[in-house]
């Protein structure tokens, strides 16, 4: 589904983040991208999201070269992704309104798919994520976990086939984080999404990534891949394999520095 081929990317100051980097993701896979801060993992996600353009090489999703945000890709960031002046309801409806704004032009919204049931879709997702009672609140009035649920509802309301998440739960307390990790895995199972979660936390990568891509010292040239077949299941947390996966990832992370 995703083909990153011979990707090179430099920051404007000349720092090379990726050089000749190649990496493939098949449809329906659950990936985690793990690395220390400054290793380029957010940059990789932005390249996949079409918010950055490679200097060399190409990112293709579903066979098409990514040159701008792709309508079928959803992006969830750690924070600051919600409109502070819009209610939870309006934030969840935002993507659908943007689609209605342009119409199904194939560029900003999937071609041939007019948004017809905005109200119903919005309410269904508010309900699914347990946000109905907060529909009239503003982001500043709700907790971090509820904000992230709002962001997830907004993204899934557009029925994406690829979900990109950048440190989505890093700012949350431990119980809320676990809760939302489980929810992500449930939603993944329900909607046949391909998921890529960028994280600096070993435990999160071990839980959410059936495959883990480890990034390290710049520039990243060869991808370090760690298979983790038992992951993407909330019950995995309680198994010895999970602990072993964490140990292995810790080793890989140190080797990548």
Partner 1 sequence: MKRTSVLLAAVALGIVWQIAAWALHRPILPPPLEVLSVFATEILGELGLDFLASLARVVASMALAVLTAVPAGLALGQSPSLNRVFSPVIYILYPIPKVVLVPVILLFLGISDVAKVVIIFLILFFQILVLVRDQAAAIRPELVASVRSLGAGRRALFRFVYYPASLPAILTALRQSIGTAVAVLYVAELFATQHGLGYYIYLHGSTLFDYPRMYAGVVAMSLLGLGLYFGVDWLQRRLCPWQYAA
- Give per-residue burial for 226-254: e unless 16+ CB within 10 Å, then b: bebebbbeeebeeeeebeebbebbeebbe
Stretch that binds partner 1, among 78-86, 117-125, 223-231, 235-243 (CB under 8 A): 78-86
Q: In what order do the strands lie in the sheet with 16-25?
A: 16-25, 2-10, 56-61, 64-65
CA 157 to chain centre: 15
Q: Which of 3, 5, 29, 79 binds partner 1 (CB under 8 A)?
A: 79
Of 11 and 85, nearer to partner 1 (C-beta) is 85
How far apart CA 249 and CA 203 sit, in angstroms, is 9
Under rule CB under 8 A, residue 49 binds partner 1:
yes
How far apart CA 119 and CA 220 sit, in angstroms, is 44
Under rule CB under 8 A, residue 193 binds partner 1:
no
Closest separation between CB of residue 63 and partner 1, Å?
A: 20
Q: Give the tokens for residue 167.
A: 């440190």
**Cα 164–17–79 angle (5° rounding)?**
35
Q: Which of 51, 58, 171, 256 binds partner 1 (CB under 8 A)?
A: 51
Under rule CB under 8 A, residue 11 binds partner 1:
no
Kindly determine how many residues on this chain lie close enough to bind partner 1 according to the rule CB under 8 A: 40
- Within 13 Å and on the Cβ side, how many CA atoms surround 46? 12
Under rule CB under 8 A, residue 109 binds partner 1:
yes
Closest separation between CB of residue 100 and partner 1, Å?
A: 10
Q: Give the tokens for residue 45.
A: 């996600």
Closest separation between CB of residue 98 and partner 1, Å?
A: 5
37 cis-preceded (ω within 30 degrees of 0):
no
Residue whose pair of structure tokens reads 């971090």 in the numeric block: 144
Under rule CB under 8 A, residue 171 binds partner 1:
no
Closest separation between CB of residue 194 and partner 1, Å?
A: 15
Phi and psi based region of residue 20 (left: phi greater than 0; alpha: psi -120 to 50; beta: remaining): left
Residues 134-163 that bind partner 1 (CB under 8 A): 137-138, 140-141, 151, 154-155, 158
The contact mask relative to partner 1 for 88-107 (x = CB under 8 A, - = no) is ------xx-xxx-xx----x
Closest separation between CB of residue 80 and partner 1, Å?
A: 4
How far apart CA 252 and CA 110 sit, in angstroms, is 39
Closest separation between CB of residue 223 and partner 1, Å?
A: 24
Residues within the interface to partner 1 (CB under 8 A): 46, 49-51, 69, 71, 73-87, 94-95, 97-99, 101-102, 107-109, 137-138, 140-141, 151, 154-155, 158, 164
């Amino acid at each position: 589904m995703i083909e990153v081929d011979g990707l090179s990317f430099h920051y404007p100051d000349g720092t090379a983040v990726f050089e000749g980097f190649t990496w493939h993701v098949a449809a329906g896979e659950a990936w985690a991208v793990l690395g220390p801060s400054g290793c380029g993992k957010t940059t990789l996600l932005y390249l996949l999201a079409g918010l950055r353009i490679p200097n060399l090489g190409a990112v293709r999703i579903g066979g098409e070269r990514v040159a701008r945000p792709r309508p079928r890709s959803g992006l969830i960031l750690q924070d600051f992704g919600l409109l502070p002046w819009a209610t939870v309801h309006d934030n969840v409806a935002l993507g659908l309104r943007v689609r209605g704004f342009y119409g199904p032009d194939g560029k900003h919204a999937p071609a041939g798919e007019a948004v017809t049931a905005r109200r119903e879709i919005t309410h269904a997702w508010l309900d699914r994520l347990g946000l109905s009672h907060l529909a009239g609140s503003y982001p500043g009035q709700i907790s971090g976990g509820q904000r992230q649920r709002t962001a997830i509802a907004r993204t899934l309301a557009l029925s994406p086939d690829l979900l990109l998440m950048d440190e989505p739960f890093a700012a949350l307390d431990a119980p809320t984080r676990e809760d939302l990790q489980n929810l992500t895995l449930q939603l993944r199972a329900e909607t046949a999404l391909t998921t890529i979660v960028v994280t600096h936390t070993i435990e999160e990568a071990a839980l959410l990534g059936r495959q883990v891509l480890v990034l390290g010292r710049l520039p990243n040239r060869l991808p370090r891949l760690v298979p983790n077949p038992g992951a993407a299941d909330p019950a995995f947390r309680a198994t010895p394999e999970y602990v072993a996966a964490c140990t292995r990832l810790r080793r890989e992370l140190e080797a990548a520095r």
